[in-house]
Structure 1
Amino acid sequence: MSIMKDRLSRPLQDLRISITDKCNFRCQYCMPADIFGPDFKFLPKNDILSFEEIERLAAAFSKLGVSKLRITGGEPLLRKDVASLISRLHQIPGIKDIGLTTNGVLLPRLAIDLVNAGLHRVNVSLDALNDDIFKKINGRGVSSKVVLKGIKAARDAGLGVKVNMVVQKGVNESEIIPMARHFKDMGVALRYIEFMDVGNSNGWDFSKVVTKKEIFGMLSDHFDLEPMDPNYFGEVAKRYRYKNTDTEVGFITSVSESFCSSCTRARISADGKFYTCLFASKGYDLRGLVRACKEEEPLINEISSIWNQRKDRYSDERTEESAKSKEKIEMSYIGG
């Protein structure tokens, strides 16, 4: 293992794998309804990586130091038999942690199967408790109560749970304190995510960003917070604890406090493109190599070559102009 890891010029320990581009409702980072609507053309089935191909890729990445996997989408729970994929990944040597990002809708049906397959935790996207606000965001009239049922099902099944809230000025900043109170009382970790310019169709500009500093100031008027040390090198969340509790709150600060220099995260799209940055314009095709070659060594060589050429510093260098002019892959495709 260490010999393989030595091939890399910088650490690679976290791999996010998108397994579908389909979703059952949209979030603030997905395409707007006028694009991501009933007529949107999803990836053909043959273009999407099979579970065997995903397993082979994950095994190759594990040889280069990846120990954490995150299954994403679209909505990953829409992929048929997703628990069987989790079971395959759980058996790969070196993989110590498997998480899944979801909107939570299907968790009441699937949580127990996912735990039995080896899933450790879920990150559930919920941008508001207020139904009027949440329904406007998701564009499908889905109630926040549906997502809350999913969170409860995940906890009851024994999964670790974090809630992700993307905060956008003029949309849901009024929900910052209600969300904090609710999940503090539940003992569930909450992550506030600065509204980012992922893709080119979510209408982003700096004026819509509520920064970590602003959110922390609001929280400090209501709660006593104390900082927590990072769990590991490359952890992107800046974490705090409500005093006299074990419940934490965190911030993903890609806009106001970038973390490019310590990023150890790679991404694979559902059709097998390798992305070295969330804000990348292009990916590198691994699907063709996986399908043409049954040996592991060429995969490892290709992955290490791509990673060693990585020069991504988009969040460090972001300007209002670059955010609007640079073409970036959509969140609904890469999965976050």
Structure 2
Amino acid sequence: MNKYVLDQYDRPMKDLRISVIDQCNFRCTYCMPAEIFGEDYRFMHQDELLSFDEIIRLVEVFAQFGVEKIRITGGEPLMRKNLDELIYRLNQIEGIKDIAVTTNAVFLVKQAKKLKAAGLQRVNISLDAIEDEVFKITNGRGVKTKPVLKGIEAAREAGLEIKINMVVKQGMNESQILPMARYFKNTGDTLRFIEFMDVGNHNGWNMSEVVSKKKIIDDIHEEMPLIPLDANYYGEVASRYRYEDSDAEIGVISSVTDAFCSSCTRIRLSADGQLFTCLFASKGYDIREMIRSGKTDQEITSRLIKIWTGRDDQYSVERAQKKPQRDKKIEMSYIGG
């Protein structure tokens, strides 16, 4: 009955993003700027994080609503101990059809094979430049591309599907659009460009630093002609293109210049059990307290139905309409993306 209720809603719930840790080994300038997230920054204690048992219980409830896709995020999720055990258990839940991890790939050399064996299907790898000098700036730690490229190769050898995510920021890495396209066209991995977004309050977001979807596509098309493709599924946020002379694809996620709030099917769970119905939300709903205070699955189910059917998130639409913006938004480092 729960799935029926939400299937009748104009935005069905299909995609659950789970942040499993708030720590990361990079300090990317658009997500965890070093001046905020320095060496003394206090991350969550272990007992603040949802346990694997708590995550599994919640996903079993979410699956009743029609959730089919699970994305494990962070921080850097591969820093969470025994993540392969969580992947294995998620894979046993009826109704879950797709499990992916968003990672910077550094730990994939050691973990890719066991993650694949546990049932992981895909890795979404963050890489914002292919040239070392630019990449060192974007990751905030002076790390070169080699560790990431080795992780990508390990994922490929393990048989994982690979998507590469590049956040494009004017004045920082827009020079890397064509080099990234050339490189990953040859590997056959799907490359997705993401407009620099105003998630959170710490990345110093400014509209003048956004490189639009149109600009990205036009620049690539001029050198490597592109053919637009249909969406793979309802609610897909990336506009898809294929090269004329190749089966390789690219995509562009354009939540700044194109609002897609009306078709959003995603819900997000923070590492400490706060539920968010929008990436640009200013507040969450405390689900951890419900679990730890002994609420039944039915009570949690009733709460989730109320949260989802009551959502009215239209942040990207409101931004485009130049309506007054909220003073505070959840940080990317906390909710994962």
Report the TM-score when normalising by structure 1.
0.97
Q: Please show how residues 39-78 of structure 1 align to structure 2 within 5 Å.
A: 39-78=40-79
For 2:312, the aligned partner's letter is K
For 2:194, the aligned partner's letter is I
CA–CA separation in structure 2 for the residues paired with 1:85 and 1:54: 9
Give CA-to-partner distance per residue, 1:56-114, whole Å, 9 cap, x none. Answer: 11111110010000000000000000000001100000000000000000000000000
> Which residue pairs with 1:278 in the alignment?
279
Contact 1:29 1:332 survives alignment (8 Å): no
Q: Please show how residues 33-182 of structure 1 align to structure 2 within 5 Å.
A: 33-182=34-183
For 1:68, the aligned partner's letter is K
> Which residue pairs with 1:7 in the alignment?
5
Give CA-to-partner distance per residue, 1:247-305, whole Å, 9 cap, x none. Answer: 10000000001100000000000000000000000000000111223632222111111
Unaligned runs of 5+ in 1: none
Contact 2:108 2:151 survives alignment (8 Å): yes
Report the TM-score when normalising by structure 2.
0.97
What secondary structure, in the 3-state scheme, does the structure 1 residue paired with 2:176 have? Answer: helix
For 1:265, the aligned partner's letter is R
**Deviation of the 1:17 alpha carbon:** 0.0
CA–CA separation in structure 1 for the residues paired with 2:269 and 2:212: 28
Give CA-to-partner distance per residue, 1:153-203, whole Å, 9 cap, x none. Answer: 001100000000000001001000000000000001000000000000101
Unaligned runs of 5+ in 2: none
What secondary structure, in the 3-state scheme, does the structure 1 residue paired with 2:95 have? Answer: coil
> Which residue pairs with 2:186 in the alignment?
185
Contact 1:28 1:166 survives alignment (8 Å): no
> Which residue pairs with 1:265 in the alignment?
266
CA–CA separation in structure 2 for the residues paired with 1:187 and 1:28: 28
Aligned length: 333
**Deviation of the 1:326 alpha carbon:** 2.5
For 2:4, the aligned partner's letter is D
CA–CA separation in structure 1 for the residues paired with 2:39 and 2:29: 18
Contact 2:71 2:99 survives alignment (8 Å): yes
CA–CA separation in structure 1 for the residues paired with 2:220 and 2:111: 34
For 2:3, the aligned partner's letter is K
Contact 2:275 2:287 survives alignment (8 Å): yes
CA–CA separation in structure 1 for the residues paired with 2:135 and 2:225: 28
CA–CA separation in structure 1 for the residues paired with 2:293 and 2:70: 24
What secondary structure, in the 3-state scheme, does the structure 2 residue paired with 1:17 have? Answer: strand
- Pick closer, same or farther for the CA change 1:322–1:137 going to 2, 3 Å: farther
- Pick closer, same or farther for the CA change 1:142–1:284 going to 2, 3 Å: same
For 2:233, the aligned partner's letter is Y
**Identical residues among aligned pairs (%):** 57
For 2:2, the aligned partner's letter is M
What secondary structure, in the 3-state scheme, does the structure 1 residue paired with 2:223 have? Answer: coil
**Deviation of the 1:26 alpha carbon:** 2.0
> Which residue pairs with 1:245 in the alignment?
246
**Deviation of the 1:321 alpha carbon:** 7.7
Give CA-to-partner distance per residue, 1:14-50, whole Å, 9 cap, x none. Answer: 0000000000002243131111011101112111100
Give CA-to-partner distance per residue, 1:103-154, whole Å, 9 cap, x none. Answer: 0000000000000000000000000011111111111111111111111100
CA–CA separation in structure 2 for the residues paired with 1:223 and 1:96: 34
> Which residue pairs with 1:210 in the alignment?
211
CA–CA separation in structure 1 for the residues paired with 2:60 and 2:16: 11
Name segments (4+ residues, structure 1) moved above 6 Å: none
Contact 2:123 2:161 survives alignment (8 Å): yes
Contact 1:196 1:204 survives alignment (8 Å): yes
Judge which range, 93-102 or 26-35, deviates more.
26-35
What secondary structure, in the 3-state scheme, does the structure 2 residue paired with 1:239 have? Answer: strand
For 1:31, the aligned partner's letter is M
> Which residue pairs with 1:26 in the alignment?
27
For 1:204, the aligned partner's letter is W
Contact 2:29 2:140 survives alignment (8 Å): no
